[in-house]
Structure 1
Amino acid sequence: MCGIFTQIVHTGFQHREELTQRIREANATRGPDARKSCCISCSQLNLEFFSSELRLRGNNPVVQPHKSESGSLLCWNGEIFAGMDVRADENDGIKLFEQLRSLETGDQVRHFFASVEGPYAFAFYSATAQKLFFSRDPLGRRSLLIHRPSATNPYFLLASVSAGPDPGYSFEELDTGHIHCLDIATLNKANDIVSAFDGCLSLFSRSDSVSSSSIHYAYAEPTKVNTNLPPSDLPLPLGDNLDIIPAWLEEPLENLITQLNHSVMLKVRDIPQDLSLKGQSRVAVLFSGGIDSTILTLLADRHVPRDEPIDLLNVAFENPRKIKVQQKGNINPNKKKSKAKVSESDTDPTLSNSTVAEFMVPDRVTGLSEVEELRKLCPGRVWNFVEINVPYHESQATRQHVESLMNPVRTVMDLSLALALYFASRGIGQIRSKPEDDPTPYTSTARVLINGLGSDELLGGYGRHRTAFVTGGWAAVVEELQLEIDRIPTRNLGRDDRVISSHGKETRHPFLSLDVVSFLARLPVEYKMDPRLPAGVGDKMLLRLAARRLGLVEASGRKKRAMQFGSHSARMEGDEKGDKLLES
């Protein structure tokens, strides 16, 4: 994980150095191990390339930007997990630059990145071609923001994260469908980079790597969803539970476990060890106790050294509105007053009374229950269940900083999710040796965070998939699943990356490996889900069967719950709609 920042400024323009320094510092927090700037002066343009480094690959320290003898430069924020041979002791950024620096055309760069898999964003300057190439991976798992030259701000900026809202730029998230190529030589000849910019920028579509070449490029773009429909008389594959697996689902079930296991293995192995922290956690999981995070946790146990703990980061917010509801019933006079619900904490004797308070949110309840299932299945592992409790005053005091990290997205839902991710990834909380013990303060040392995002999109886990079936049958479900894959790059990943990486940590998404995406996209829809079955059975059916096969009986039947509601980070004061824009 790194922070990258590139700027191109006309030599005659007096830009705000104070703003530039704030952008550098915002990107430096993403890579606390090293930072460096390289500058290039043309006759009419000044170029700066800044990178910070979070060392997660290779044995030796690395300082970016990578630079060749010819003057080519690479700012690299990413990981290569497939398509290029990288040994455990090697740095993927160095290996990638060795191949990339000989490339000079957009077609060459496009085809090169169509052959490698991993989350990434980059800015690559070819000194021989005098061109700047920049892009994000096809799913947008790493953030890259772009400011295009304008009349009021006549300069070009790329950055992993901004310095928050500022009149000095108009950042937007870079689209993932293209390799962008800026002709620096031509731009340098222009007297006005604002009017010349669009003519100097070329876009090389990723999809053209698939359609215009006889070579198969496995990672040019996400695989399209299988459009074959099941027969109209398809029998129900299951009863109302997951106990009996039909024979025709055995092969896809085992293949899913194999695919996920391999993806998790690539995400958790070969993480450099800080000798001063030997024996402490290198891997943590954003852990709600739901099926997605739990199955990834169980698979991580296979690949993380047995003598290392794995941290399970579980966040809970003090939410005044929810507390009032619990104390007085529904406080909305326009809604029918609800009866108090009995939670697991009221009936589960393993949950300590000291945990039953304002922080006993739904995700805390399921998390505490699920860690006990993991301890039974994996008794040789130390599982650090990290209770991250966020008082109301602290979440409000941090709100402005989180909004700055989120920028340029600014909705109520963005904020509620970003707050949950910010505090969860910070990893400051408390742990208990036994459920009944008093807690002790704990700060996670893990720099790699496993995230279960993606399973609902790929396996039909949202309520809208069931709605699509009711209104349009299987064809509507297939169409919705394709829309889910198409929307992944524009939804949450860039925002999540900006927020989590502010702590000098990296989130990895095993479900969003392009190999896993391809495997699931190619499966017929009825293998993945069946909306005719009850919630908690038919949604993400294949994943639920995989969890049951692995011994996760409790997790396999848990229903979908959004993070902002499970942690109570949403709707702290009122009942605002998620798509409402935040006040400036």
Structure 2
Amino acid sequence: MCGIICSLRAGCQGDTDNIHGEPARPDDTFRDLSERLKVVNAARGPDAQGSHHIHIQGICQCESGGAQASSPSEACGLDVEFFASELRLRGDTPIVQPHQQGGDVFCWNGEVFEGLDVNVDENDGVKLFQSIRSLSTMDDLPSLLGKIEGPYAFVYYHAEFRRLYFARDPLGRRSLLIHKPSVSNPHFLLASVSIGNDQVCIMEELSTEVIFCLDIGRLCESNEIVQNFDSCLTCIPRYGDQQSLPFAKLSRVNTALPPDAPPSVLSLDSTILPRDLAIAVNHLIEHLDRSVMLRVQNIPRRTSLEKGQAHVAVLFSGGIDSTILAFLAHKHVPRDEPIDLLNVAFENPRKIQLQTDGNIGAISKREKKRQLKASERNAAVKESTSYMVPDRVTGLQEVGELRRLCHGRTWNFVEVDVPYEESQAARAAVEATMFPGRTVMDLSLAMALYFASKGVGKIRASAVSDDSRPYTSPARVLLNGLGSDELLGGYGRHRTAYITRGWQGVIDELQLELDRIPTRNLGRDDRVISSSGKETRHPFLSLTVVSFLAGLPVHLKLDPRLELGVGDKMLLRLAARKVGLLEASVRKKRAMQFGSHSARMEAGDGERRGDLMIRAASEQ
């Protein structure tokens, strides 16, 4: 995990006016912006930070002695700075970015799990840099990227042709934001995370559909940076077929309709499954198990980390997704290491009021007085139970099942309790980090991930004990169950699609889910979680797992004819059942923001839709 920045400044050094005859933005304004960006991006990689400057010579067209000169000049051209921070999670040797060789510069924020031969003691960024430099032509870059699987965002400067290449992986599992030059802000920026909603840099998510190439040499020679930027920026397709380039693009959902009356599984306890379904269950377990293995093995040990401390944690709600990931991680993490289960709960005044006072507007005055007295008498009780949110209840239940099944493993159930005042104090920082996400739902989810990823909470002495001790998770790799609902039909809208449009409606909805995965959650989640110097990994969103699940006939993944807790994500439920997770297999879907009570904190928030834009914390 890294934080990366690439900045490009237009115009001549020392100019007092820009090409539009307007006063130039003072250097200290841009320097302040640059330093602020470095601070927030350095938080993603606390192990090391480095920067590298280059000046690309341009044609000077400054006025001199009343005449305009056009000649090469060291003072004119473009200043380009590369910055990268490093969270060391690959290889035995400390790495300081940016990578540099022969004038080429490479900033890498990613992990290669498949498709590139990287030994345990090697760093994947170093290996990939060597692979890119060994290409006979940069036209082969899409082919190289199409053969590697893993989350990534990168910036690569090719010195010979003075071109800048940058991209995210096809799923967008790593954040990269872009600011294009404008008249008021004539600089170009790429950054893993921004400083928030600031007029000095209007940043947006970089598209995952293509690989971008900026012809800096041509841009430099034009001396019209703002006007010519778009013409110097080209989009390179992620071409290739599934056989030769398996990770170039997202797979398409299988469009085959099931038979008129596909066989139905009457219950998850069915001992005999249709043959195709039984095979699919086995293959899902195999694919998911391998995906988890690749994401938890060979995590470097820090010298300051004592033996027996956790290196892997799971964002844990007690639901089926996080539980099966925890179970599979148990198979591949050394038995002498604990696995931390991060379970977050918010003190939510609106929820507490509803639980303790009921619907005040619909009860008598006598009943109001009785409830008020009861509320005052039970203030201490209310304080102790305010964190018993739905995800805390199911989390405590599910860790018991893991302890029964996974002998010899220490499971640290980390209770991350967030007081209301603390969540509100952090709101401005969360809003800035999740930007350009700005909806009510963005904030609710970002709040939950922000505090969960910090891993600051407590663990109980035993499952039945009220005694607890403070605990901060040292794990830097966090497993996240995101993707299972989109791929396996876990949302209520999949059932609605079946009711209104039959199996074809479900297929169409699943394709829509897959199409919008890159734009909905992943960039925001990466920015928020990584702000704590942690890295989130998504086993369900391995492109290998995505390809397998997308290719399955729809009726093997879900059955909307069956009740909730059975038909939704049916294939995953059967897989959980097969490995012994009986309790987890029947848990119903519950959104993180509602399970943790991070949503709708205020009295007036009950009716606010998730897609509404938030008011900034400063406006509250």
User: Which TM-score applies when normalising by structure 1?
Assistant: 0.94
Matches within 5 A, 1:105-254: 107-206=139-238, 208-210=239-241, 216-236=244-264, 238-248=265-275, 249-254=277-282
Matches within 5 A, 1:316-331: 316-330=345-359
What RMSD, in angstroms, separates the aligned Cα atoms of the two structures? 1.6
Question: Structure 2 vs 1, CA of residues 47 and 333 (structure 1 numbering), >3 Å: closer, same or farther?
Answer: farther
Alignment partner of 1:467 is 2:481 = no
Question: Structure 2 vs 1, CA of residues 332 and 95 (structure 1 numbering), >3 Å: closer, same or farther?
Answer: farther
Alignment partner of 1:49 is 2:49 = no
Residue 435 of structure 1: aligned partner: 463
Distance in 2 between residues matched to 1:286 and 1:298, nearest whole Å: 13
Shift, 1:110, TM fit? 1.3
Residue 287 of structure 1: aligned partner: 316
Residue 519 of structure 1: aligned partner: 548
Residue 60 of structure 1: aligned partner: 93
Alignment partner of 1:572 is 2:601 = yes
Shift, 1:356, TM fit? 5.7
Task: Tell me which amino acid in the other structure corresponds to 1:91.
Answer: N
Distance in 2 between residues matched to 1:379 and 1:217, nearest whole Å: 41
Distance in 1 between residues matched to 2:297 and 2:207, nearest whole Å: 30
Sequence identity (%): 61
Q: Deviations over 1:219-268 (max 9, x none)?
A: 001110111111112232x1144443414221111110000000000000
Q: Deviations over 1:191-213 (max 9, x none)?
A: 1211010110010121x3339xx
Question: Structure 2 vs 1, CA of residues 354 and 308 (structure 1 numbering), >3 Å: closer, same or farther?
Answer: farther
Alignment partner of 1:33 out of 41, 47, 63: 47
Question: Structure 2 vs 1, CA of residues 104 and 491 (structure 1 numbering), >3 Å: closer, same or farther?
Answer: farther
Distance in 2 between residues matched to 1:548 and 1:232, nearest whole Å: 28
Residue 475 of structure 2: aligned partner: 446
Residue 2 of structure 2: aligned partner: 2
Shift, 1:432, TM fit? 1.0
Is residue 186–residue 200 contact of structure 1 (8 Å, CA) maintained in 2?
Answer: yes
- Listed as ranges, the gaps of 5+ residues in structure 1 are 335-352
Is residue 448–residue 593 contact of structure 2 (8 Å, CA) maintained in 1?
Answer: yes
Distance in 1 between residues matched to 2:233 and 2:138, nearest whole Å: 11
Distance in 1 between residues matched to 2:205 and 2:262, nearest whole Å: 43
Task: Tell me which amino acid in the other structure corresponds to 1:209.
Answer: G
The alignment partner of 2:536 has SS state of strand
Aligned length: 560
Alignment partner of 1:404 is 2:437 = no
Is residue 311–residue 339 contact of structure 2 (8 Å, CA) maintained in 1?
Answer: yes
Residue 414 of structure 1: aligned partner: 442
The alignment partner of 1:312 has SS state of strand
Is residue 401–residue 581 contact of structure 2 (8 Å, CA) maintained in 1?
Answer: yes
Residue 350 of structure 1: aligned partner: none
Task: Tell me which amino acid in the other structure corresponds to 2:566.
Answer: V
Matches within 5 A, 1:359-438: 359-437=387-465, 438=467
Task: Tell me which amino acid in the other structure corresponds to 1:4.
Answer: I
Alignment partner of 1:20 is 2:34 = yes
Matches within 5 A, 1:285-364: 285-330=314-359, 357-364=385-392
Is residue 280–residue 445 contact of structure 1 (8 Å, CA) maintained in 2?
Answer: yes
Shift, 1:65, TM fit? 0.4
Distance in 2 between residues matched to 1:503 and 1:579, nearest whole Å: 26
Is residue 104–residue 128 contact of structure 1 (8 Å, CA) maintained in 2?
Answer: no
Distance in 1 between residues matched to 2:530 and 2:150, nearest whole Å: 17
Shift, 1:11, TM fit? 4.1
Shift, 1:580, TM fit? 1.0
Alignment partner of 1:489 out of 511, 518, 524: 518
Distance in 1 between residues matched to 2:427 and 2:609, nearest whole Å: 18
Distance in 2 between residues matched to 1:287 and 1:355, nearest whole Å: 23
Is residue 460–residue 540 contact of structure 1 (8 Å, CA) maintained in 2?
Answer: yes
Question: Structure 2 vs 1, CA of residues 195 and 106 (structure 1 numbering), >3 Å: closer, same or farther?
Answer: farther
Alignment partner of 1:504 out of 533, 542, 552: 533
Shift, 1:42, TM fit? 1.2
Is residue 268–residue 574 contact of structure 2 (8 Å, CA) maintained in 1?
Answer: no
Shift, 1:354, TM fit? 11
Q: Deviations over 1:278-315 (max 9, x none)?
A: 21000000000000000000000000000000000000
- Listed as ranges, the gaps of 5+ residues in structure 2 are 13-23, 58-76, 364-380
The alignment partner of 1:532 has SS state of coil
The alignment partner of 1:170 has SS state of coil
Residue 343 of structure 1: aligned partner: none
Shift, 1:275, TM fit? 2.7
Task: Tell me which amino acid in the other structure corresponds to 1:405.
Answer: T
The alignment partner of 1:179 has SS state of strand
Question: Structure 2 vs 1, CA of residues 24 and 78 (structure 1 numbering), >3 Å: closer, same or farther?
Answer: same
Shift, 1:102, TM fit? 3.5
Distance in 1 between residues matched to 2:168 and 2:348, nearest whole Å: 36
Question: Structure 2 vs 1, CA of residues 355 and 224 (structure 1 numbering), >3 Å: closer, same or farther?
Answer: farther
**Farther off after superposition, 314-323 or 354-363:** 354-363
Residue 341 of structure 1: aligned partner: none
